[in-house]
Amino acid sequence: MLDAAEHLPDDLASAHAMILAERTARREAEALADRAQAVNSHSEALIARLKLEIEKLKREIYGHRSERKARLLDQLELQLEELEADAAQDELAAGDSARSSTVKAFERKRPSKKPFPEHLTRERVIFATPESCPCCGSSKLAKLGEDFTETLEVIPRQWKVIQTVREKFTCRECEKITQPPAPFHMTPRGFAGPNLLAMILFEKFAQHQPLNRQSERYSREGIDLRLSTLADQVGACAVALKPVHSLIEAHVLGAERLHGDDTTVPILAKGKTDTGRIWTFVRDDRPFGGQSPPAALYYASSNRRQEHPERYLKSFTGILQADAYSGYNPLFQVDRDPGPLTQALCWSHARRKFFVLADIAANARRRKNAAPISPIALWAVTRIDALFDIEREINGLAAGERLERRCRDGAPLAEGLEEWLRTERGKLSRSSSVAEAIDYMLKRWDGFTTFLHDGRICLTNNAADWALRGFALGRKSWLFAGSDRGADRAAFMATLLNTAMLNDVDPQAWLADVLARIAETPVSRVEGLVPWNWEPRTPASAPGS
């Protein structure tokens, strides 16, 4: 302290200069710190972005390599979102600090921006032309060119009332009155247009927004659409769309092979909620080069009794890819009418039982006395993954080519796996956790190896699993179905919407067009309204044009 005091200036001017110098040095130090923070945030965001891109590329090339892949991508996207926001905030802070110091401002190197789609409407906002030169005041100005900046903007939703005018005419000769028919509405004295109805249905059954939340949002926009009113429109739309649903149902049940699965759906009952089920059966021939369009069919039931899949698939004859649920067993019996189905079990389900015992990351999070990693389970996962590697290479090939490759490369691997599993099972006690996973496969080995005899069969039942993800996510939003009929209606609409998405069709635009055309379409031409045959009408062919 004494040494510092000896170097303090004696006069006021020198002290003032020293204070200014210290203040400048402090500002530059703060600017340097902000710049360093901005650089660090930018680096973290860049690393997170590159990790996400790498994982997405791996997923495109190799498919699902582990049970945690989808969850990992969600975590990486969430992490990237937060890091990008931090980087933008730190960049602005560093720029503010740099203005009051000699430190150079930091600018992030962002990914190259993609041009906005050409179909978007462009609105030109032109600055007023100066009347004179700002330097010399001369009015002799000549245009050299122009620079423009594009900014993406959104227009809030607009509501409008369409008045359909139907003029009346009378004949002077016969005194008859003529007038065009009233426009079609889903309900008697209806008021909702097809675009509004499609939006309500899409929000409820695809975005999982219950009608009460939609009603509240519309009310904030100045439109009074009560819950009961919206519910009436939903029920009427389900009746109008039934012919289209019937065609999709017939298309799915006419497949050579189906994926089947189910998930739980709470259904409101008297004073409680029952655990109901949503069943899905997916037709997707693309893995074996089939040309038939994909489609998904959904049903709802109040329980999981075997009578339900028997009733849903009573007319189906072919291959059923599903899990080992015992309720499917009557479908595979020899005396079934019109014939037994071919059972094809899912290797992802079998692999998952081993993966749980071999998941190093999950075991590391357990308590200290958790069971160690099972080397048998780890080796089983490795052997099963070798089969998945072959399937990734033959995905999309014709059924004959797939079968030929499986017989050459897959069959020896499957035979070796069975022999190894039986050998290891003989060394394990009945209470061993890995013994349960081994027994699950060995007791159903014929069902697991059906894919070695038919190139149309996939190794997994993932198509059905993916088709049920919407309900798994929706349960968190709508909590439960209001009734058994409400669950049936949800399955009905899921069939329409998810089939449209499987065919790369915008489900809301498709619904709006179908609802506008369904009344004037003869039964013989309804086939043209299913998603894979649908062609949107041009503005010139729309009503009222």
Tens digits of per-residue pLDDT, 466-507? 999 888 877 777 666 667 888 889 999 999 999 999 999 999
pLDDT of residue 83: 57
Q: Is the predicted pLDDT of residue 76 greater than 60, yes or no?
A: no
Burial class (CB in 10 A: 0-12, 13-18, 19+), 51: middle
For residues 260 and 279, is the Cβ–Cβ distance under 8 A?
yes
Tens digits of per-residue pLDDT, 184-196? 776 666 788 899 9
Q: Is the predicted pLDDT of residue 199 greater than 90, yes or no?
A: yes
Q: Rg of the Cα trace of the chain?
A: 33
Q: Could you give the 3-state DSSP secondary structure of residue 259?
A: strand
How sure is the predictor about 69, in pLDDT bands with cuts at 50, 70 and 90?
Answer: low
Tens digits of per-residue pLDDT, 426-462? 988 888 889 999 999 999 999 999 999 999 999 999 9
Q: Is the predicted pLDDT of residue 1 greater than 50, yes or no?
A: no
Instruction: Say which amino acid occupies 424.
Output: E
pLDDT of residue 541: 52
Q: Locate tokens 């009344």: which residue?
A: 519
How sure is the predictor about 545, in pLDDT bands with cuts at 50, 70 and 90?
Answer: very low
Helix H or strand E segment including 520 = none
Q: Locate tokens 């968190």: which residue?
A: 476
Tens digits of per-residue pLDDT, 208-248? 888 888 999 999 989 898 888 888 888 888 888 999 999 99
**Residue 92, CA distances (Å) to 23, 86, 249 in order:** 22, 10, 56
CA-closest candidate to residue 38, choices 80, 97, 78, 79: 97
Distance CA 125, CA 147 (A): 12
pLDDT of residue 293: 96
Distance CA 329, CA 338 (A): 15
pLDDT of residue 155: 83
Percent above pLDDT 90 for the chain: 41
More confident call, 475 vs 170: 170
Q: Locate tokens 């709006």: which residue?
A: 512
Provide CB contacts within 8 A for 497, sequence distance 6+: 201, 202, 205, 206, 507, 511
pLDDT of residue 540: 47
Tell me which DSSP letter residue 481 carries: B
